[in-house]
Structures are given as structure tokens and as C-alpha cells.
Amino acid sequence: MRRIADGRVRVDGRVVRNPSFRVELGRARLELDGEPVRERRTSLVIALHKPAGHVTTRVDPGGRPTVYDLIPQLDRFVFPVGRLDRDTRGLLILTDDHRLGQRLTDPLHHVAKTYHAHVAGVPAEDALEVLRRGITLPDDGTPTRPARVRSLGVAKDGGAWLEIVLTEGRNRQVRRMCAAIGHDVRDLVRVAIGSLELGDLPAGEWRRLAPDEVARLG
């Protein structure tokens, strides 16, 4: 208000001192101290159903398809929030909002990522309890946080489907956790990030998230 009263604001070249002066955003030319005032853009956040076989990177030196091959040319650059390895499918968020990206990937915020894993064999309950408590990964000694783990049933091939909910995102973590208890992952899909679910979004398709969906992500 003070800046307006002091005559520092111009609308279409004219000094405006009335705080109630109506301005048609997008059409009027606003200036503060002689510098143009740019309208703050709403963040762009999209949900993509990443299929297996695509890598989560802008360009792949080996020529493999990337997630950017699945989205159109947008009016701004968006980056993936976290990664899914090439063989993992499911929900991937891309955005131009770096604060949102930090909030969703920083382990301190404990944003849950939910995965459905098809594993070889049927893990015993005590093996699942090891994952729930947290496990030291044998390949490099990395300790994992406690996870929510439950069985979703036996698969047709004699393996099992597990639901695993993590609040951290280490490299290939679900695959490494399951291998550590002797049940290699055969198929892996991320079905939710926070309260946002993959739902019926087809593989390879994307959609823009509404503001209320973005607000509920964390």
C-alpha cells in the first residue's frame, strides 16, 4: 500500500495512488519504480504414468527412450521429482516448482511413496517384518528406514505381490530391499506419492494436476 501511496506504481504509464484502482491482469502494463512487474505464474505440475523401458532423464547418451519423449513441448521446462529406474513403471511427477520438488524428495518431510512389487517366491512373515523394521542393504551397508509392508496375495506364477511404502528414496531401494530377503523383484510399479494415486492413468499418458491436488501432495 505504501508503495502505491508514494507514487512508485504506474499502470499503463500513469502513476496510480489509489489502492482500490482496478487493474486487468494480463492486459495492463504494471511498473514499480520504472521496472515492469511480471505476473507470477502458477507452478506447472504434471503426473506421468511412466512405462517400463523409459529412463528418467532429459537425454540418454545410449539413445534409450526418456520420459520427455512422452510429454509435449511445454511453455517451460519441467524436471522429474525423484527418479524411477528404467524397468520400474508408475507414477512420476514433473514440475517447474523447485520448492515442491525439494519437499517431496527430502527425507525430512517423510512424504510416502507407495509401490506394488511382484517378487519371486512368497516371503514369510518374518522376512516382511525385517523390511518393516528397516534393513541394512548388503551391497553397500546402507541402512533403510522402517517401511510399511503388507502382502497383496500370491501371483499366478507362484510369486507374490507386496505393497511397500517408503519415506525415503535411495537408488533402486525396493529392488535392493527385496533382494536382501531373498525375493528378487520381477515387476515394480509406483502407485502413489503422498495422497496422489496413479489411478487409471494409462501407461505413457500424463495429466496436469489441479491446485488442490498439488496442495495435498505433501
Domain coordinates in residue numbering, the chain = 2-36, 45-208
Q: What is the structure's pLDDT at 27?
A: 61
Mean pLDDT by 10 residues, the chain (218 residues): 69 74 63 66 90 93 94 90 95 93 87 96 96 92 94 94 94 96 97 95 96 82
Quote the CA–CA distance of 70 and 49 in Å, as a whole number: 9
Question: Which residue of the set 6, 12, 33, 85 is catalytic?
Answer: 85
45-208 — its CATH code? 3.30.2350.10
> Per-residue DSSP letters for 92-131?
EEEES-HHHHHHHH-GGG---EEEEEEESS---HHHHHHH
Q: What number of other Cβ atoms are within 10 A of residue 69's Cβ?
A: 11
The answer to whether residues 132 and 148 touch, using CB atoms and an 8 Å cutoff, is yes
Q: What is the structure's pLDDT at 4?
A: 67
Q: What is the structure's pLDDT at 66?
A: 96
- CB under 8 Å to 16, separation ≥6 — which residues? 4, 9, 10
Which residue, 86, 93, 44, 40, is CA-closest to 65? 86
Quote the CA–CA distance of 30 and 41 in Å, as a whole number: 15
Q: Give the up-direction half-sphere exposure of residue 116: CA atoms within 13 A in the CB hemisphere.
A: 14
Q: What is the structure's pLDDT at 217?
A: 79
Is residue 85 annotated as a catalytic residue, yes or no? yes
Q: What is the structure's pLDDT at 3?
A: 67
The answer to whether residues 92 and 203 touch, using CB atoms and an 8 Å cutoff, is no
Q: What is the pTM of this model?
A: 0.80
Q: What is the structure's pLDDT at 12?
A: 77
DSSP letter (8 states) at residue 22: -
Grouping H, G, I as helix, E, B as strand and the rest as coil, residue 91 is: strand
The answer to whether residues 64 and 55 touch, using CB atoms and an 8 Å cutoff, is yes
